[in-house]
Amino acid sequence: MEGSQGRLQAAVKCEGRGVLHLEGQSRRWITAIALLSVIAGALLAGGNWGVLALSILAVSLCQWEIAGLLGVRSDRWRTSLCCLLASGMPPAALWGGGHGLLWAMVGSVLVFMGFETLARRDPSGVGGEVGRRVFSLFYGGALPCFFVLMWTLPSGAHWLAWTIAVTAIGDTAAYYAGSIWGKRKLLPRVSPGKTVEGALAGLGGNVLAGAMYGTFFEPVSGGAGLIMALSIGVAGQLGDLAESMLKRGAGVKDSGDLLPGHGGVLDRLDSLLFAAPLSFFWATMRL
């Protein structure tokens, strides 16, 4: 218990500093540029197969990190099963659309429940176990697949790029504005480092990015594009706070350490996980 409290206090202290360090910023930008280059290269060169490879890798890593946040990673059999089940969701979404993703999610729950029924020796605590794993499959498996669904739409590459651009620029604006000018805490019990000033700057970045993209992609231009970008920004900030809540509960600052300067895969995808379903909704409404 003392070790967990110590990690939590260290995480809160580190996140609440709001100070920009040159070395950390260099790592952050190098990682971001490298990550965007890999994504762009995979999409341009691989097409559907590139989307499939990236999404399967992403959902598998998300399962691993969520298991750590929920304190169940040590159970390698169940964690591996969730990684395997989640990896089937991107192909289902790519070739089966929304119905395919739905059936993949339902099938994953049925398979995991069947596994629990056959493999579990002591039924006590099964509710918590199943709840954590089903949450993991939905949060880190189904939600990322909305990017796959977007890819399958007409002009899907544009919608995907628009969503990433709006969310990423908003996140960047919120991070730097909050670090430099932030004074009023936004939700300190969940994320001590986030401020009202940063949140407002983030929404401004969302709108600016949406307006810039709207100059050459008509479906996201004008007043409708402004509302769309603003709603994506709000969803993204909620996604960021939701992951911060999981990290606070686990007593850690980052979900992992795979991405230097950013933390884990979930730390990079947290805003996008909430933004993607809403963006897919806007895309289907505008087509």
Q: Phi and psi of 188, rounded to 5°? A: -60, -30
Residue 42 has pLDDT above 90, yes or no: no
- Contact between 258 and 57 under an 8 Å Cβ cutoff? The reply is no
Could you tell me what percent of the chain has a pLDDT over 90? 71
Q: Pick the residue with more confidence: 20 or 187?
A: 187
What tens digit of pLDDT does each residue of 86-110 get? 999 999 999 999 999 999 999 999 9
Task: Give the pLDDT score at 22.
Answer: 64
Task: Give the pLDDT score at 9.
Answer: 46
Task: Give the pLDDT score at 63.
Answer: 96
Residue 14's pLDDT band, with cuts at 50, 70 and 90, is very low
Residue 4's pLDDT band, with cuts at 50, 70 and 90, is very low
Task: Give the pLDDT score at 167.
Answer: 95
* Coil, helix or strand at residue 133: helix
Residue 259's pLDDT band, with cuts at 50, 70 and 90, is confident
Q: Provide the β-strand partners of residue 187.
A: 191
Average pLDDT score, the chain: 89
DSSP letters, 226-287, are: HHHHHHHHHHHHHHHHHHHHHHHHHT-S-S-SSBTTTBSHHHHHHHHHHHHHHHHHHHHHH-
Question: Which H or E run includes 192?
Answer: strand 191-195
Task: Give the pLDDT score at 69.
Answer: 95
Neighbour tally for 167: CB within 10 Å: 30
Tokens of 193: 């480092």
Residue range 164-174: average pLDDT? Answer: 94
Task: Give the pLDDT score at 111.
Answer: 96
Domain ranges of the chain: 2-46+153-286, 72-147
Q: What is the 3-state secondary structure (H, E, C) of 80-123?
A: HHHHHHHHCHHHHHHHHHHHHHHHHHHHHHHHHHHHHHHHCCCC
